[in-house]
Amino acid sequence: MKRMFYAMAVTAAVALTGIAQQARAHGDVTPQPVDVTGLEPLGEEWRKENPYKGDPTAIKIGMSGYNQNCARCHGIDGISGGIAPDLRFLEQDASGDDWFLKRVRHGATVNGTFKMPPFEKIMSQEAMWAIRSYLESRPTD
């Protein structure tokens, strides 16, 4: 009986260790600010459409911002591994811009549980639009 209890305890400990390792594998999920040096300032009023679409500087800054804040859930190079949506397939028009900006600014909840943190108090709109520009530059094939 003691052997069975010991075996169950060891099995449970190994399982819990594996779960803890998976949680740590995502790294620091605290949103990080993005350095937007080199981008034209956009002012206080939030733009409705991406003002940096196709801008090489914005794409470079957006790649860095994406890798710091988004890749752990949305995938390396924007290619989702299944945890979160593949953002390369967002509509590349005003409706896609609107959806993207609302999600990034306010986060996402499912059944009352945060699935994505809000970034509005961490990132500027310049950073958000730079990330959007990066995602629009990613191939979908």
Report the pLDDT value the prediction gives residue 29, as an integer from 0 to 100.
62
Please indicate, yes or no, if residue 5 is contained in any of the structural domains.
Answer: no
Identify the CATH number of the domain in which residue 111 sits.
1.10.760.10
**What span, in angstroms and rounded, lies between the C-alpha atoms of 99 and 63?**
19
Q: What is the pTM of this model?
A: 0.78
Q: Is the pLDDT of residue 112 over 70?
A: yes
Within-domain flag for 106: yes
Range of the domain at 67: 30-137
| 64-75: average pLDDT | 92
| CB-CB neighbours of 139 under 10 Å | 8
With respect to residue 13, please indicate whether it lies within any of the assigned structural domains. no
Q: How far apart are CA 32 and CA 41, in angstroms?
A: 19
In a domain, 25, yes or no: no
- Residue 22 belongs to a domain: no
Look at the chain and report how many structural domains it folds into.
Answer: 1
Evaluated on CA atoms 5, 11, 14, 18, the torsion sign reads negative
In a domain, 61, yes or no: yes
Q: Is the pLDDT of residue 55 over 90?
A: yes
Residue 20 pLDDT exceeds 60: no
Angle in degrees, CA 63, 28, 13, rounded to 5: 135
Is residue 15 a part of any domain in this protein? no
Contacts of 80 (CB under 8 A, 6+ apart): 74, 86, 87
Asked whether residue 3 carries a pLDDT value surpassing 90, the answer given is no
Residue 8 lies in a domain: no
In this predicted model, what pLDDT tens digit does every residue of 70-100 receive, in sequence order? 998 999 988 887 788 889 999 999 999 999 9
